[in-house]
Each structure stands twice: as structure tokens, then as C-alpha cells.
Amino acid sequence: MASIELNNVGVHYLIPQAKSAGLVGAMRSLAMGGVIGKRHGRIGVTALDDISFSLVNGDRLGLIGHNGAGKSTLLRVLSGILPPTSGRIRVEGRISALMSIQLGLDSYSTGYENIRSRARFMGLTEEEIDSRFDDIAAFSELGDYLDLPIRSYSAGMRLRLAFSIATAFSPEILILDEWLSAGDDYFQKKARERLTGLIDKTGIFAFASHNDALMARMCNKGMVLHQGKPVFFGEINEALAYHKGVPQ
Amino acid sequence: MSNTSIEPNSRISHNEKSPVYYFDASSSRYDYALEDLKRAFARPKLIWSLIRTGFFTRYHGTILGGLWVTATTALTVSGLAVLYGQIFGADLSKYFPYVAVGIVVWGLISTIINDGASVFLAASGTFTQSPIPKSLFVVRAIGIAALGFCYKLIVIAVVVFAVGLRPSLGDVGLSFLGLLMVVWTGFWFALGIGTIGTRFRDVGQLTAAGLTFAFFVTPVFWQASRLGEYQFVVQYNPLAHFLNVVRGPLLGLDGVMNSFIWAGGFSILATVFGVVTFGYFARRLCYWS
């Protein structure tokens, strides 16, 4: 059973300004006087503030908010990339975060080699890779190109390969930052069906997008974020309506 | 909503327990770091993928490939040995292997220190975008350094045999033990210095500058016995001892036991340094980089 539980999760951090970054800067500010001095020249950022909620199997959460509202930060906290600076998080179940799906691809390796190494990168076992290998190769429709180093691919072909690998494995929790798309019209249709199928099979789905219609279709719960704070959490259509009502 | 009912998932075995990710910002410091290390070492195939691509990318399309490391080292060692052998008036049959092993082991040590200071900075684009253990990149850096070392071993083997040295199996074993000590210490040191180097960007520059200096005060290509009253330069230099635990047994040099004691002490210090620094700040790395 997949489950997600967040208690008072916050992400606050200081950005060292370019000027005071480095050892000398830190020593100088230390010498200038205690705790206040340390903060001198640094900007505090609150990316997420006091977020508590829990999700269970069947929940499809849509994150709604303007740019910089904290949607991506929250998704990165959920996927275990970013440890929060306050609060607690507990996530049960295998997570797959479909962000930066081209990370870990090596230009000098062939398509086949990249399928294996990128899948390892995603944390999959050798047996899982073996069982999905042919499916990935077939779905990408790259044919003989899979024997070539991927530096000979066009950007679209690379993305098709990355998409085929990323969507080949069913996790218990799927995290998606903006809808994934790849290739030409024909491939896009295929990709949409594959991604939708993957989401349907997943226990918990967390999604951030600016496409309201897509959100309403894919999600059943919605959370509206405003400057890192959850201002609404409930049924997706109500959340979307609430967000529309909030002045910019 | 029609998609609230979930089809049974055929690909996930329900007998297996689902992994649990738990993080409490007020108490999970060391747990977070330990979990990171555990996850890194649980993926040997991924480690190998990363080392392989990281190392061989540099030599793609070349005829010699990885053997370029061997060729470069052979050239450096020959030049140093012949020229400085003449300057020092040394017996070339003793001096040549001395320089060969010295340069190769120094290469390993300096690569680990240099790459260690920037290890998390170089990988930050990856671990801030994907849930991959951070310490994996330290393992990768050590692995790449060790793979380069393996190519350089060819030079050592050729030189040692060419001058007629036949080290016993025990000597080779002791030398290998010394090498393990270097790698072990290097791992924890890189973990610690990499963490600090992410927060304070001057650290990378500082270690690079320090290494240039260290090269001249460490008996890589000159003999410690010629120091006279300046013996302390070698006695209190940890790098000299790490050099000697690998080179000493192989070439029958003096002070091997003494060096093992010093190197052992420093490796414990480095381990504590790495554990404490990474343990305390691992969870800050995403914010610093």
C-alpha cells in the first residue's frame, strides 16, 4: 500500500549573495558580529511553509499555483530529492519522479546501452530492466538507431528514447512535473496513451501543471499553493475554481 | 472521476515490502546520511556504469583509449627518472622504480583530493533533479581515480621487472594493503572535503593550491634520506606516509612500519572527519549547490 504523509513540512533557506559567498565572506561576516552578522548579506527564502496532508492509494493530487508558488519544490520534497528544513515526511512505496528524464543519458553510448544505464540510474534492478528491455526498444521505434551512439540522434529522437525508458516501469507513486510529451504528432498520441496508462496503474499520483483541463481530467484532489503556503486543499474542480478566484 | 479505482499492478510484486522514505527535519541528520551511503553502495551496476562513462568519455575516438593514461605516465616517469637521476647522481636501477611508483601513487592521491573538493558541486545538477544518493558521486570519483591507477600499474610492473626487482608475494600483499588504506582514507576525506567545498567555494581552490605545494614537500621523486635535519618535513607529512605504505613494501624502503602506524592514524582521522561532516550536512547539500 502506497501512502504519503506530510507534517508541518517547510523549506526555508538562505541564499548567499554572490558577493559574500565563500570562506572569506563567511569569516568576514562572522567577525562582524555574531548571529546577525551571519545573516548579513544573505536573503532568506521560504519555498514551502507548514504543509501537512496525507495521501493514500487512489489519490491523484494536482498542485495548482502561479510560478514560484512552490509546486516543483513540493514535488521534489515528495520524491525524496529535497529533504525539508522543518517538519516530517513519510512516504511508503516505490517512487518514480518523471522529472529531467534525460538525466544520466550518455552521448557516446548506444541507444541500447543507454536503456540499461538510464534504467539503473532510475534505481531499477537488473531483472526489472531485462523484463522491460524489449518493450522499451520497441516503443521508442528507433529501430537500427539503437545500435548507434545517441549523439547521432536528433533532439526529438533522444527525447523519445528517454520517454520510452522513463514510462516503462510502474511505480507505486508517480510524480510528474508538467505533462511529458515527445516526438511528432503520431508519437505524441502514443506517448499520451502510454503515460495515461501508467498513471492509471499507479497507486498515488502527484502532478503539477498550468493546464487546468488536464488537471481536472487526471486528478481528483487539488492543492492550491500561494507563496509556499497551502491556501486550499480539496476536490480538484473546487481547487481550480478557488485558484481562478484568487487575484493575481 | 473515473480513475479512482486502481487496477492491480502486475509488475510490482506485492510480497515485497514497499520501501519507506522517512525524514524528520528535527532529528534525522545522521539517518539521512547513513541511508544515502547505504543506497549508494546497494547499486554496484550503476556505480560501474557511472565510472565507465566518466572515465572513457575522455578517450572516445582515440586509438589508444584508456592506454593514454599509461602512455602519459610512462613519459612523465621516464623524463623525471632520467633527468633527476642525473641531477641527484642516483643509481638508475633503484631510482627509476622509486620515481615510477612515487608518481603513480601520488597521481592517485592528488586526483582523489582534487576531485573530492568539487565532487558534489560537479554532480549537483544530477542530485538536485533526481532522487539519487549523493555519496554515489564520491564512490564514482574514487572509482574513476582507481581505474586510472590500474592503467598506470602497467608502468610500475614494467619498470619493476625491467630493473630486475622481484618483490615477494608478502611484499606485494603489504603494498596492496597500503593501497586499500589510501583508497579508504581517500573516500572519507573526499566525502568530508566535498561537503565543505560545496558550502565554501574557496576550498576547491585552496586544495588545488595546497596540492602543488604538497608535491614538492612530499618525497615523490626525491629521497627522504637526503633531507638531513629537515626530516620533520617527511615525518609529519601524512601524504609521505601514505606514499610509503604503498611504495615502501614493494621496493624494500625504510620506515614502512612507522608509516603504516602514521597512515593508520590519519585514516582514522579522515574517517571521523568524513562521517561527521557528511553525517551532519548531507541534508544541506541540495541547498548549498
Task: For residue B20, list chain A residues with Cβ-Cβ distance below 8 A.
Answer: 90-92
Q: Dump pLDDT digits (tens) for B121-151.
A: 999 999 999 999 999 999 999 999 999 999 9
Q: Dump pLDDT digits (tens) for B107-126.
A: 999 999 999 999 999 999 99
Predicted confidence at residue A16, as pLDDT, reads 63
Task: For residue B18, list chain A residues with Cβ-Cβ distance below 8 A.
Answer: 1-2, 92-94, 172
Domain A3-94+207-243 has CATH 3.40.50.300: yes
Question: Does any CB of chain B come closer than 8 Å to the CB of residue A44?
Answer: no
Residue-averaged pLDDT of chain B: 91
In a domain, B18, yes or no: no
**What single DSSP character describes residue B124?**
H
Strands A42-56 and A3-16 come out as: antiparallel
Predicted confidence at residue A248, as pLDDT, reads 47
Predicted confidence at residue B198, as pLDDT, reads 94
Asked if B131's CB is within 8 angstroms of A218's CB, the reply is: no
Question: Does any CB of chain A come closer than 8 Å to the CB of residue B16?
Answer: no
B201 Cα to chain A: minimum distance (Å): 5
Of the candidates A23, A86, A123, the beta carbon closest to that of B202 is on: A23
Q: Report chain B's terminal Cα–Cα distance, integer Å.
A: 41
Residues of chain A with pLDDT under 70: 16-42, 246-248
Q: Map out the domains of chain A as residue ranges.
A: 3-94+207-243
Q: Which three cell numbers stand for residue A48?
A: 514551502
In a domain, B270, yes or no: yes
The answer, yes or no, to whether residue B51 has pLDDT greater than 50, is yes
- Residue A205: φ, ψ to 5°: -125, 130
In a domain, B1, yes or no: no
Task: For residue A4, list chain B residues with Cβ-Cβ distance below 8 A.
Answer: none
Q: Which three cell numbers stand for residue A100?
A: 529531467
Quote the CA–CA distance of B58 and B65 in Å, as a whole number.
8
Quote the CA–CA distance of A100 and B137 in Å, as a whole number.
18
The answer, yes or no, to whether residue B5 has pLDDT greater than 50, is no
Domain encompassing residue B115: 29-288
Of the candidates A86, A103, A171, the beta carbon closest to that of B130 is on: A103
Q: Dump pLDDT digits (tens) for B62-100.
A: 999 899 999 999 999 999 999 999 998 888 999 999 999
Give helix B202-217 / helix A23-31 axis angle, nearest 10°: 110
Predicted confidence at residue B7, as pLDDT, reads 39
Question: Does any CB of chain B come closer than 8 Å to the CB of residue A94?
Answer: yes
Residues 6 or more apart whose CB falls under 8 angstroms from that of A6 comprise A51, A52, A53, A54, A77, A87, A88, A89
Among left, alpha and beta (phi > 0; psi -120 to 50; other), residue B255 is left
Question: Does any CB of chain A come closer than 8 Å to the CB of residue B247?
Answer: no
pTM score, whole prediction? 0.89
Q: How many domains does chain B have?
A: 1
Q: Quick one: average pLDDT of B157-179?
A: 94
Reported confidence tier of residue B251, pLDDT bands at 50, 70, 90 = very high
Three-state SS at A229: strand
Question: Does any CB of chain B come closer than 8 Å to the CB of residue A92?
Answer: yes
Task: For residue B206, list chain A residues with Cβ-Cβ distance below 8 A.
Answer: 23
Reported confidence tier of residue B1, pLDDT bands at 50, 70, 90 = very low
Nearest alpha carbon to residue A73 among A105, A47, A53: A47
Asked if A220's CB is within 8 angstroms of B4's CB, the reply is: yes
In a domain, B61, yes or no: yes
Return residues 203-232 of B near A (CB < 8 Å): 203, 206
Predicted confidence at residue A43, as pLDDT, reads 72
CB pairs under 8 A between A and B: 139
Task: For residue A82, list chain B residues with Cβ-Cβ distance below 8 A.
Answer: 128, 286
The answer, yes or no, to whether residue B28 has pLDDT greater than 80, is no
In a domain, B67, yes or no: yes
Three-state SS at B147: helix
A142 Cα to chain B: minimum distance (Å): 22
Task: For residue B129, list chain A residues with Cβ-Cβ distance below 8 A.
Answer: 81, 99-100, 103
Q: Is the ipTM of this complex over 0.95?
A: no
Predicted confidence at residue B6, as pLDDT, reads 40
The answer, yes or no, to whether residue B50 has pLDDT greater than 80, is yes
In a domain, B21, yes or no: no
Window from B58-62, B118-122, B165-169 with minimum mean pLDDT: B58-62
Nearest alpha carbon to residue A71 among A244, A208, A238: A208
Task: For residue B29, list chain A residues with Cβ-Cβ distance below 8 A.
Answer: none
Quote the CA–CA distance of A103 and B133 in Å, as a whole number.
14
Reported confidence tier of residue B289, pLDDT bands at 50, 70, 90 = confident
Asked if B49's CB is within 8 angstroms of A117's CB, the reply is: yes
Question: Does any CB of chain A come closer than 8 Å to the CB of residue B12?
Answer: yes
